[in-house]
Amino acid sequence: MKLDTFIRLVIICIGALLVFVFILMQQRFSFNLLHNLPGIVGLAMIFVGIFWLWLGRFRKFIMMAFIIYFGTFALMCVFIFTNALNVPEEGHNAVIVLGAGLVRGDQIPLVLRQRLDTALIYLRSNENTVAVVTGGLGHQATVTEAYAMKLYLIEHGVTLERIIQEDLSTSTMENLNFARVLLNDHFGENNYTVVIVTNDFHLPRGRLLARRAGLVGEGMAAPTQRGMMPRYYSREHLAISWTVATWFLPYHVFYWLQ
């Protein structure tokens, strides 16, 4: 088999696999560019594989683009897995639960419930730790995300006095920045440490943004349902790449871009 033929077959097979993942996701989720990025990349790879011999000098640049895409995706997966292994130390002052949106007006979706259940594990073993629930009023929501999260924690045994509501944010960066303001008021300026709780796929970027927001602490990963991994991992690949690419910009510019 000639090398060019082998390369074409590999590119087409990988592209077909990505399109297959895309089709599976459409059975459960509505179309979203970030969530379904594998389908777009897959179609591009099939196109490239079919017309490989006619692409001439552009082949080198196309291969470089694919290598960068899959290389950064693999690197992101390493970050996710290593962060997920972290077990935070006892005695942190606060747990910050990052938002994930509500469904049907005021209902907590599975991905957010996983975060809250993980936060409960830490809160039950650290009775002096407070919980910061984050998230404002989302699209078609009837209550703020922070309020729904507060009710969930209370239903599972956390007292009202241990819960701080951050109910204005609309993004992860705002979750963390507004939480820092509230914690500064509660404990004093930077006189505390935190545990950032979010799903494993979201934790590396959550910790990066927390660091940029001036928060000191660790991360704690909530599990992600296997069937949802392609959707969230593909979205997070682009999001964390954007965060890293804009990292060295002035803070107010970085904050606006997130």
Please name which of 250, 106, 88, 258 lies closest in space to residue 173, comparing C-alpha atoms. 258
89 lies in some domain: no
Into how many domains does the chain fold?
1
| pLDDT single digits (tens) 5-23 | 777 788 888 888 878 777 7
CA dist 10 and 25 (Å) reads: 23
CATH number of the domain bearing residue 169: 3.40.50.620
49-53, 174-178, 200-204, 226-230: which has the minimum mean pLDDT? 226-230
Average pLDDT (20-38) is: 61
119 lies in some domain: yes
170 lies in some domain: yes
The answer to whether 199 and 221 have CB atoms below 8 angstroms apart is: yes
| pLDDT single digits (tens) 72-101 | 888 888 888 888 888 999 999 999 999 988
203 lies in some domain: yes
Average of per-residue pLDDT values in the chain: 86
Average pLDDT (19-42) is: 65
Could you list the residue range(s) of the whole structural domain that residue 170 is in? 94-225
What the block records as the tokens of 118 is: 């993980």
Residue type, 92: H
What is the end-to-end Cα distance of the chain in Å, rounded?
47
207 lies in some domain: yes
| pLDDT single digits (tens) 104-116 | 889 999 999 999 9
CA dist 137 and 146 (Å) reads: 9
Can you give the pLDDT at residue 172?
Answer: 92
What the block records as the tokens of 202 is: 């979201």
Average pLDDT (195-220) is: 94
103 lies in some domain: yes
Confidence band for 44, pLDDT divided at 50, 70 and 90: confident
202 lies in some domain: yes
Check the CA dihedral 187-188-194-196 and report its sign: positive
